[in-house]
Structure 1
Amino acid sequence: MRVIGLMSGTSYDAIDAGAADLRLVGDSLVVEPLGLVSEAYDEPLREALAAALPPATTSMEAVCRLDTLIGRAFAATAVRADRELCAGRAELIASHGQTVYHWAEDGRVHGTLQLGQPAWIAEATGLPVVADFRPRDIAAGGQGAPLVSLVDLLWLRGLPGRPVALNVGGIANLTAPDGTAFDTGPGCALIDAAARGFSGGRLTYDAEGALAARGTVHEPLLRRLLEEPYYALPAPKTTGKELFHLGHLRDALSGVGTLPAEDVIATLTMLTARTVADAVRAVGATEVIASGGGTRNPVLMRMLEQQLPGVVLRTSDELGLPSAAKEAYAFAVLGFLTAHGLPGTVPTATGARHRSMLGSITPGRDGVRLPGGGGEGPVRLVLG
């Protein structure tokens, strides 16, 4: 089955569309990547989204408008991906949507909201769409994240040593081979917030770590940031920009005085490296296979390497899975599993009571023709 996975992460910088041919061969899921296309949100939509995200307040009118506009943007990206990557022969779309709120309290997740109405995608492509993946796991008592952990576990199986998969987006998450998975804390979320705040909106992120490279880590600020109780919570656990936003940084800065922007961003970069490294050590990893936008920040990657002496650090690109496309491919896999009646979660990763088939299906132009299936699902992932 030829599937397009659509993903926009917590950094909301672009919609990624990864296309792949997927097939079940015995107990293996064979994934043949076909490529990636990315489309940045237009500036008015990006600004409207930023204005509605926590800790800002919003209105139902704004939510309705965003659901429609994001849905249209996802639809346009899906059409492009089908044309450029699939020669117009895609069979299914799997859309993660745009997370705008993750309702977590006292170590439990009670709800989550992803916008990007799938009807627009089905209408534009004529294809069935699997969307709204996270709520089913939450209804089963899970965190609803990290859902990429299933794909990580299938992919890591059989690799030597004790490798872990790390994704560094706005939030960083880790998957260990024993099925443990959790959000380690901020990936680029606080770095991006600081870059935007210090530049008055002119910058949206620290390109190639240039600001951090000019700064010096401020140890008192780092210590204050590391006092955040989230880091001490046991897995499984998830978080988001509801916690790690500009206000979180301002609270920490209030106790250390005025600092140069470069020093703040260097400190936030070290915060990500330190909290990820602490998580890696806690699961006894011998190797880290990293993906996500954070891998394009050489300062962050260098700090992480320094924090993990004796642990091999490399990107998923080195193993044949493009790091920029990994999450889009992961949701293509999850959509494929749903279409085949197979579960898409790992209870040890999310804390759910049981495995669940994920998502809701919006029919395409010709309805929904599911291939059937059922059972336990594949036990390993093979790149074709």
Structure 2
Amino acid sequence: MRVIGLMSGTSYDAIDAAVAELDLVGDSLVLKPLGTVSEPYDGELRKVLAAALPPGTTTLGEVCRLDTRIGQAFAATAVRADRELCEGRAELVASHGQTVYHWVAGAEVHGTLQLGQPAWIAEATGLPVVADFRPRDIAAGGQGAPLVSLVDLLWLRGRPGRPVALNIGGIANLTAPDGTAFDTGPGCALIDAAARGFSGGALVYDTDGALAARGRVHGPLLDRLLEEPYYALPAPKTTGKELFHLGHLRDALAGFGTLPAEDVVATLTMLTARTVADAVGRVCATEVIASGGGTRNPVLMSMLAELLRGVALRTSDDLNLPSDAKEAYAFAVLGFLTLHGLPGTEPASTGARHPTVLGSVTPGRGGLRLPPRAARQPTRLLLE
């Protein structure tokens, strides 16, 4: 089955589409990557979305408009992926949507909201769409994240040592071989917020780590940032920009006077590297396989490599899975599992009471014809 996976992460800079040919062979799920495309958000849409996210305020009218416009943007990206990567022969779309709120209170997650109405995708492509992946896991007592953990576990099973899958997006998360998975804290969220804030919006992120490379880590600021209680919570745990936003940084900066922008960004880059390295140490990893936009920041990756102290650090590209689109491929897998009636969660990763079949299905133009339920849950993910 040819599946288009659609993903826009917490950095909300673009919609990534990955097309995978997926097939169940015995106890293995075989994935053949067919390619990826990425479509930046329209500048005005991105601006409206950014203004609506915490700690900003919004209205139900704006939420409705965002749900429609994001859905239309996802639909256009899916049409492009189907046309350019599989000659119009895709059979399913799996859309994560755009997370706008993750309702966390202490160690408990009460709800989550992803926008991007799947009806627009189904109408534009004519294909069935699996969407709204996260709420079912939360209803079963889980954190609703990191949902890619099941895919990571299947993918890395059998690899020697204790390999850890790390994703560095707006928020960073990891998955360990025993199923332990959690958000480590800010990936690029605070770095991006500082870059935008100090540049008056001219920058949306620290391109190639240029700001951090010119700065020095400010020890007292780093110590204050590390006092955030989230880092001490046990797994499973999740977080988001509801916590790690520009206001969080401003609170930490109080009393330090005016620090050079480069020093602040260097300190935030070290914060991400330090919290990731601490998390990797807690799960006793022997290898870290990283993906996500943060891997394109050479300063962050250099800091992380130094802090890992001998633990091998590589990217998923080294294992033939594109780091920029790994999550899009992961949601293609989760959509495939849903359509075949198979669970898409690992309770050890999210804290749910039991595995669940994720998401809701929007029929395509020809109605809804579900394949027979698969006889068994795959135990491995093989890349072809």
Superposed pair shares fold, TM > 0.5: yes
**Contact between 2:170 and 2:188, CA under 8 Å: does it hold in 1?**
yes
* Secondary structure of the corresponding residue to residue 34 of structure 2: strand
One-letter identity of the residue aligned with 1:343? P
Please list every run of 5 or more consecutive structure 1 residues that lacks an aligned counterpart in the other structure.
Answer: none
Q: Hey, what does 1:4 align to over in structure 2?
A: 4
Q: Within 5 A, what are the aligned runs for 1:258-277?
A: 258-277=258-277
Q: Secondary structure at the match of 1:179?
A: coil
Question: Which deviates further from its counterpart, 254-263 or 221-230?
Answer: 254-263
The separation in 1 between residues aligned to 2:44 and 2:242, in whole angstroms, is: 22
Cα distance change on mapping 1:147 and 1:60 into 2, 3 Å:
same
- 1-structure distance, mates of 2:298, 2:271: 15
- 1:311 maps to a residue whose letter is V
5+ residue gaps, structure 2: none
Contact kept, 8 Å, 2:27 with 2:376, in 1: the verdict is: no
CA RMSD of aligned residues (A): 0.6
Which stretch shifts more, 46-55 or 368-377?
368-377
Match of 1:195 in 2: 195
Q: Which residue does 2:89 correspond to in 1?
A: 89
Quick one: percent identity of the two aligned structures?
Answer: 82
**Secondary structure of 1:146 counterpart:** coil
The letter for the 2-side match of 1:206 is D
Matched, 1:45 2:42: no
Post-superposition offset of 1:255: 2.9
| Partner in structure 1 of residue 357 of structure 2 | 357
Secondary structure of 1:33 counterpart: strand
Letter paired with 1:87: E
Q: Deviations over 1:296-326 (max 9, x none)?
A: 0000000000101110000000011010110
Deviation at 1:375, TM superposition (A): 5.0
Contact 1:343 1:376 (8 Å CA) reproduced: no
- Partner amino acid, structure 2, of 1:88: G
Deviations 1:141-171 (A, max 9, x none): 0000000000000011000010100000000
Aligned length: 384
Listed as ranges, the matches of 1:178-189 within 5 Å are 178-189=178-189
Kept after mapping to 2: 8 A contact 1:82/1:89: yes
Is 2:377 aligned against 1:342?
no
Q: Is the CA contact (8 Å cut-off) linking 2:7 and 2:97 kept in structure 1?
A: yes
1:328 correspondence with 2:328: yes
Once residues 158 and 316 of structure 1 are traced to their aligned partners in structure 2, the CA distance between those partners, rounded to angstroms, is 16
Q: Distance in 2 between matches of 1:319 and 1:371?
A: 31
CA offset digits 1:4-56 (Å, max 9, x no partner): 00000000000000001000000000000001100001011000000100001
Contact 2:94/2:131 (CA < 8 Å) preserved in 1? Answer: yes
Query: Partner of 1:121: helix, strand, or coil?
Result: helix
Q: Hey, what does 2:101 align to over in structure 1? A: 101
Alpha-carbon separation, structure 2, partners of 1:51 and 1:232 = 30
Once the two structures are TM-superposed, the CA of residue 173 in structure 1 deviates from its matched residue by 0.2
Cα distance in 2 for partners of 1:367, 1:270 equals 51
Q: Deviations over 1:215-234 (max 9, x none)?
A: 00000000000000000000
Distance 1:342 1:17 in 2: 23
- Alignment match, 1:251: 251
Structure 1 segments (4+ residues) deviating >3 Å: none
